[in-house]
Amino acid sequence: MRITLVGSRYFGVTVFEMLRRHGVEIARVVVHDGEDRLAAAARAVGVPVVVQADPKDVAAGEIAPGSDLIVTAHSHARVSRGALAAARLGGIGYHPSLLPRHRGLAAVEWTIREGDPVTGGTIYHLADRMDAGGIVMQDWCFVKKGETARELWERALAPLGLELLAKAIDHAEAYGALPSKPQDEQFATRAPALDH
């Protein structure tokens, strides 16, 4: 399995390390900032790094040739249709909610704000609309009373994301495809960034 990883920051690095342990080939890392810690981690082990020409959009030419799959990890850039077409299986991302609930940049914060007793994570196909692609797989967890968004992310949602991404990649390797269950739009909610 040959993967182009698009991402940034802590979660980008932890996904990068998980992929390396998992034995897949990381053909290229794509970042919006060449100084990002994900770029540094990739360069340290000789994985090629490309900095996006447009920080809000990943272009087809930024995907490694011969990629089987694009994986995003803490990337807020839109992966263009051309970029998705450049990988045999398209692209997947991890969203820290039970999609279609809490689509957007602040899903964990909205989970806390709304008082959700249960949340979870979703691996989904990248699509034109943010966080709206078909669901590959999901799992859930409880939210502890009084927990902050950061505590929930670190305790449950980040580890769940790593576990689900590994399972999705195993599925893609075993079957040469990924499931895709349409999201039920009647349950969709938005989770725009919050002003702190």
Section 60-68 average pLDDT: 97
Q: What is the pLDDT of residue 128?
A: 87
- What is the number of other CB atoms lying within 10 angstroms of the CB of residue 132? 17
User: According to the model, what pLDDT value does residue 196 have?
Assistant: 55
Residues 157-183 have a mean pLDDT of 97
Residue 44 forms part of a structural domain? yes
Print burial letters for 160-196: b (CB count within 10 Å at least 16), e (below 16). Answer: bbbebbbebbebbeeeeebeeeebeeeeeeebeeeee
In a domain? residue 168: yes
143's tokens = 């939210």
Six-digit token string for 140: 């859930």
Residue 74: is its pLDDT beyond 70? Answer: yes
Q: What is the DSSP string of 67-127?
A: -SEEEEES--SEE-HHHHHTSTT-EEEEESSSTTTTBSTTHHHHHHHTT-SEEEEEEEE--
pLDDT of amino acid 132: 94
Q: Tell me which residue of 184, 29, 160 sits closest to 94, measured CA to CA.
A: 160
Instruction: Assess if residue 191 is contained within a domain.
Output: no
The verdict on residue 30 lying in a domain is yes
Tell me how many degrees the CA angle 56-83-164 measures, rounded to the nearest 5: 85
Look at residue 42 and tell me whether its pLDDT is greater than 60: yes
Average pLDDT over residues 158-170: 97
61 in a structural domain? yes
Average pLDDT over residues 24-51: 97
Residue 151 is assigned to a structural domain of this protein: no
Q: Is the pLDDT of residue 84 over 80?
A: yes
Average pLDDT over residues 122-133: 94
Q: Is residue 72 part of a domain?
A: yes
For residue 39, the domain's CATH number is: 3.40.50.170
Cβ neighbour number for residue 140 with a 10 Å cutoff:
12
Residues 147-161, mean pLDDT to the nearest whole number: 97
Question: Does 110 map to a domain?
Answer: no
Return the pLDDT at 76. 87
pLDDT, residue 195, reads 74
Split into its structural domains, the chain has a count of 1
Mean pLDDT of 111-120: 97
pLDDT of res. 70: 98
Domain span at 169: 2-94+120-138+157-180
